[in-house]
Structure 1
Amino acid sequence: MRHCSRGADLRLLPVSPAPDASRLPTALDGLRVAVEGTRFPLETPNAAAARSGRGELLNQLRDYIIPRANSLDAPLLAVVGGSTGAGKSTLVNSIVGETVTTPGVLRPTTRASTLIHNPADERWFTGHRILPELARLTGESAGAHDPNTLRLVSSASVPAGLALLDAPDIDSVVSANRDLARQLLSAADLWIFVTTATRYADAVPWELLQQAIKRGTSVAVVLDRVPMDVMEEVRADLAEMLARQGLGQSPVFAVAESKLSKSGMLPVSEVTRIRGWLGSLAADALARSIVIRRTLDGALDSLDSRARVLTEAVREQQTIAHELQEAPRTAYTAAHQAVQEGMQDGSLLRGEVLARWQEFVGTGELLRQLEAGVGRMRDRVVSALRGRGRAEPAENLGEALHTGVAALLVSHAETAAITSARAWRATPGGARLVEQHRELATASPDFGARVERAVRDWQSDVMELVRQEAGSRRTTARFLAFGVNGIAVMLMLITFSATAGITGAEVGIAGGSAVLAQRLLEAIFGDQAVRTLSVKARKMLMERADALFSAEQERYTQVLAEVVGDTSVPDRLTPALAAVKAAR
């Protein structure tokens, strides 16, 4: 075996002062809680990356940073990782000198994880100090190939103060294995990266090496199965690549292509230097401490940028959630304004309503003679109606008004629903919500029925207004000529026209209907009372319309709340990170 080992360089690397044994673990646990509290439910541009980053950060906090900060004197954990078929398990067995992990024949070759430790260090690994989510197994258990387990092997061949962990393949075809491999590498004090002469330039390993650089993880590289005739060339090329990536201080070992023994071991000569280097780390408390502290410091240094990414993603979620909240609010506010305009522009006083009004007053000729004198016309209408029952025409007019108002409300509610759904589809994270809740693109199925009830209730309110205003006038000839229903529908009529009170040739047919109705009511109640009644009637109708629209808008609010939750949760990551910095 030819090698280039720089283990001594690790002892010369500067490290920061020892962290506060009491404050730092507490601050780190506070950061863990803050990270756990971050959520990215909306499919915003950075959501997927944020979820992945959150998971990786949580895993490293639980699996490595917090337990290591709590126990700096625990054995150094060296995770052996690499690509499929690189010979990781064979290398581990050869270093230990006995079969402690079984190399696979099928791909992926390493499916689960095996941790080999000295019997004196057993207490550090049987509990859940590190990798708490993995169940512990000992011996040749049936679950030894389950990725959710950690198989513990005690061996006196491993020096005290050191543990080796054979990890699943980093490029496994099984996603769960890949994820576990990355999780285990994040839990390492030292990553022993195993590659081959034919695969050392592959993209996936270098991606993980870049992560190791960013997080300050100590790395050693084993170049396996190197033909002797290209040993120098391959080793030099790998060393140059490592130097370019900032890993020039990392120990590099080259293992020549060799025939395995009957027990599946590499020749002792090929692993002697690796075994000796690991043994020296275990025996030298200072060297071991330097490797541990360097990796811990690197992991702590990486927290700032990683937490900042999560904070920015949380703010992005809050911004998008606010936009999603505002879209239906804007749409239903516009619906409210449109209904209000529709109640004042005279558009409801045409068609069926106009026909029923003419039926109510007895003849369309009355309206055409309106310019001749409203006072004289009012007297003629009252005279014509006195003593005659107007119940049926009043009911027909009331029904026509009811239909018109209901259609106005339904139309604008449908428009608001369509507008809200369109805005959500155009907003990041909103398209999926609309897809999952297709009912949001239209008004509620029972909205029409609720509108019908609301308009009828409003008409009842108007009649009650008339009764209260009439008081002692109920026995007058003018009041009796129209009755409560007739007066109520005339009040509704003037409620729907902003032209009420205007006279002259410029008033159209619809406006003229409202003018005549107003003059008839003024003959009963007086000018001021009619103005007050019409304002009250319009206000009561708009209040009912607001209640209907608010209920429709609430559908969007509820869907968003179910997905996003409380968007007003304060930023807990920033103060938690500041506490970690202060504790260091």
Structure 2
Amino acid sequence: MTTPDAAVEPADALVTALTALQHCVVATAFDLVTAEQPDRRQLRDRVAGDIAGHIARIRDIDAPLLVVLGGVTGAGKSTFLNTMVGRDVVATGPVRPTTYAPTLVCHPTEAEWFTSDRVLTELARVETDSDVRDVGPTGAAVLRLVRSGTVPPGLALVDAPDVDSVASANRELADQLLDAADLWLWFTTGGKYADEESMRYLRRARARRTALGVVLTQVHRIDLPEVRADFIGKLADEGLPDARLFTIHVTAIRAGRLPVGVGDELRTWLRRLADPEARRAHRTQTLEGGLDAVPDDVGQLIDAVGDELHQVRRLQVDVDHAYDGAEEEFAASLDEGMPLRGEVVDRWDRFVGGSRVLKLTEAATGQARAWIRGLLANAGLIGEERRLEQQVRVAVADTVTATAGQLADLAATTVVDAWSATPAGRSLTEREPGLVYRSSEFDERMASAIRDWQQHVATLVASVGAERRAQARVVSGIVSLAATSAILLAMAHAGITGAEAGIAAAAGAANQGLLVKLLGEGNLRKLVADARADLLQRFNDLLADERRRFVAMVAEVAPDPEHLDELADAGEALMAVRGG
């Protein structure tokens, strides 16, 4: 024999597992805007609500049985509830919908079971004898509570909106109520019993093994045997051969109620459900069926989160493709050359070609030092070369900055175009229209990076070639600056690819001679490779910040990949507790 304590322990373990799973389900945000987002959020909310209902049933197995009167338009749910209570509790009539806010009727001594948020936590409670119809569609968030001594203790009846209501909020509310029910009392008519919408709900009840009673109404007496037999056959075909079927023939409705004697069999059956053993049996049936459905529900959520992660990865791939491409294009522009202003290039070529710097370099030996010092004292000559060197630096900075800006714009536009092809991406770009361009601070930051890079090149020129440092000190007023400018110009304008390409292809004969004389070909190759790598890194660092604008937006709506494992683990923990 099972002791009370032994029975409590499995129940406690089950509640613990369900509570942990519920937390995981509620944490499933579905923030990514997709065509499936509304359905996925609805699934999440339904599963969370179902689990809350399971917990309530386990904790309060002997609570009043929650019977939800659901079904199609015009089937007489409200009329039957009025008849069961013995007075006009809810409005009836031909105008649809007749039910906006659902009405729950229970025995006065059991109202506390439903005034709290034990069940139907999303619905605010309103206690009134007047129908809450004037609230209109916003009343979907309200559960009207009516106390009536004509309803037997152990039973609570809920008049739900029509599942085929013209108001979508009513349809959603009907589903919510049916999901919370311990027992469905399904109403359909002689004209709608075979409709797909009606059958879909009955299949749902069968799949979840929900306790069920079926009421067929609006059938003329003469047609009742034939229609009833046909309906029984269809129920059997849907796997519901044992469903309890009641019929109410076409009859006159007076004061919103059925005539005396009509529906007595159904009322008697409902009253018997109030018996403790009967309601425990029906609640347990619905609970077990609902728990059996949880793994499939969780599996659907896991699949949905997995698909969301896949779509997030696609958005991230779009970003990586665009910005990786910009990095490659910038590197290629260094190899191929950028279009500098022609007059600056021409003046530099004439300056180098005039051999003044080369002569200084060749003369930087012991016997010519005095001549060089005299030449360096010529302020006019030094000033001219310094001005030209400065022009080279400015031209290189402007050109490289412009090229970088164009590539940053192109990358941003490429991402926006790719994202605009999907609902998820489009929702992100619409939030930030400026994403199609590079950030406002990019040009200033790039110009600063170029200035730092030019200084880095100057430092390299001053440090490379240990055997030539003595002469570099002698001619540092012109030669070091000239070498720096020659390298900057070569890298930006003619293009330079490193040691394998040679100097001639990069700088032209005059620059080649100058650079080789000043630094040596081996040192020059090393210096150029270093300078190129440094410039690429500076550009890539700035581009990474541009990339992060998009990455951050994706991160805001992306699910945590670990959430998949959390959902799966919580689902498996529940199955383990149940012995599955």
- Relative to the length of structure 2, the TM-score reads 0.86
- 1:267 maps to 259
Show the 5 A alignment for 1:163-202.
Answer: 163-202=156-195
3-state SS of paired residue (2:188)? strand
CA RMSD of superposed structures (Å): 3.3
Is residue 494–residue 518 contact of structure 1 (8 Å, CA) maintained in 2?
Answer: no
**Which piece of structure 1 moves more, 569-578 or 18-27?**
18-27
- The structural deviation recorded for 1:44 is 4.3
- The structural deviation recorded for 1:521 is 3.6
- The structural deviation recorded for 1:148 is 1.7
- The structural deviation recorded for 1:454 is 2.2
**How many angstroms apart in 1 are the aligned matches of 2:528 and 2:498?**
10
Query: Unmatched 5+ residue regions in structure 2?
Result: 1-6
- 1:322 maps to 313
**Which piece of structure 1 moves more, 196-205 or 26-35?**
196-205
Deviations 1:170-194 (A, max 9, x none): 2222222211111001111111111
Is residue 490–residue 521 contact of structure 1 (8 Å, CA) maintained in 2?
Answer: yes
**How many angstroms apart in 2 are the aligned matches of 1:555 and 1:316?**
23
- 2:488 maps to 492
**Which piece of structure 1 moves more, 268-277 or 343-352?**
343-352
- The structural deviation recorded for 1:162 is 1.4
Is residue 349–residue 510 contact of structure 2 (8 Å, CA) maintained in 1?
Answer: no
Q: Is 2:425 the partner of 1:430?
A: yes
**How many angstroms apart in 2 are the aligned matches of 1:184 and 1:522?**
86
**How many angstroms apart in 1 are the aligned matches of 2:404 and 2:92?**
73
Partner amino acid, structure 2, of 1:411: Q
Is residue 208–residue 293 contact of structure 2 (8 Å, CA) maintained in 1?
Answer: yes
Is residue 120–residue 160 contact of structure 1 (8 Å, CA) maintained in 2?
Answer: yes
- 1:278 maps to 270
- 1:338 maps to 329
Partner amino acid, structure 2, of 1:546: N
Decide which of 77, 84, 92 is 2:66's aligned counterpart: 77
- The structural deviation recorded for 1:442 is 2.9
- 1:421 maps to 416
Is residue 395–residue 485 contact of structure 1 (8 Å, CA) maintained in 2?
Answer: no
**Which piece of structure 1 moves more, 395-404 or 574-583?**
395-404
Is residue 44–residue 428 contact of structure 1 (8 Å, CA) maintained in 2?
Answer: yes
3-state SS of paired residue (1:269)? coil
Query: Unmatched 5+ residue regions in structure 1?
Result: 1-16, 368-373
Q: Is 2:534 the partner of 1:554?
A: no
Is residue 352–residue 511 contact of structure 2 (8 Å, CA) maintained in 1?
Answer: no
Q: 1:352 to 1:408 in 2, by over 3 A?
A: farther
Partner amino acid, structure 1, of 2:289: G
- 2:448 maps to 453
- 2:17 maps to 27
Show the 5 A alignment for 1:160-559.
Answer: 160-261=153-254, 263-283=255-275, 285-347=276-338, 351=342, 354-361=345-352, 379=362, 387=378, 388-389=381-382, 390-426=385-421, 429-467=424-462, 473=471, 475-476=473-474, 478-480=475-477, 482-496=478-492, 497-498=495-496, 507=504, 511-513=506-508, 516-559=510-553
- Relative to the length of structure 1, the TM-score reads 0.85
Deviations 1:32-85 (A, max 9, x none): 1010111222244644432221122122222x2121121111121110112222
Q: Identity over the aligned pairs, expressed in percent?
A: 36
- The structural deviation recorded for 1:94 is 1.0
Q: Is 2:55 the partner of 1:58?
A: no
3-state SS of paired residue (1:20)? helix
- The structural deviation recorded for 1:542 is 1.7
- The structural deviation recorded for 1:526 is 4.2
- 1:110 maps to 99
**How many angstroms apart in 1 are the aligned matches of 2:62 and 2:104?**
18
- The structural deviation recorded for 1:268 is 2.4
Partner amino acid, structure 1, of 2:444: A
3-state SS of paired residue (2:253)? coil
**How many angstroms apart in 1 are the aligned matches of 2:341 and 2:504?**
14
Q: 1:414 to 1:190 in 2, by over 3 A?
A: same
**How many angstroms apart in 2 are the aligned matches of 1:156 and 1:48?**
42
**How many angstroms apart in 1 are the aligned matches of 2:500 and 2:263?**
105
Q: Alignment length, in residue pairs?
A: 551
Higher helix share: 2
**Which piece of structure 1 moves more, 184-193 or 274-283?**
274-283
Partner amino acid, structure 1, of 2:27: G
- The structural deviation recorded for 1:524 is 3.5
**How many angstroms apart in 2 are the aligned matches of 1:128 and 1:343?**
68
- The structural deviation recorded for 1:212 is 1.8
**How many angstroms apart in 1 are the aligned matches of 2:176 and 2:498?**
76
3-state SS of paired residue (1:38)? coil
3-state SS of paired residue (1:112)? coil
**How many angstroms apart in 2 are the aligned matches of 1:456 and 1:582?**
65
Partner amino acid, structure 1, of 2:434: E
- 1:157 maps to 150
3-state SS of paired residue (1:185)? helix
**How many angstroms apart in 1 are the aligned matches of 2:500 and 2:418?**
41
Q: 1:356 to 1:320 in 2, by over 3 A?
A: farther
- 2:4 maps to none
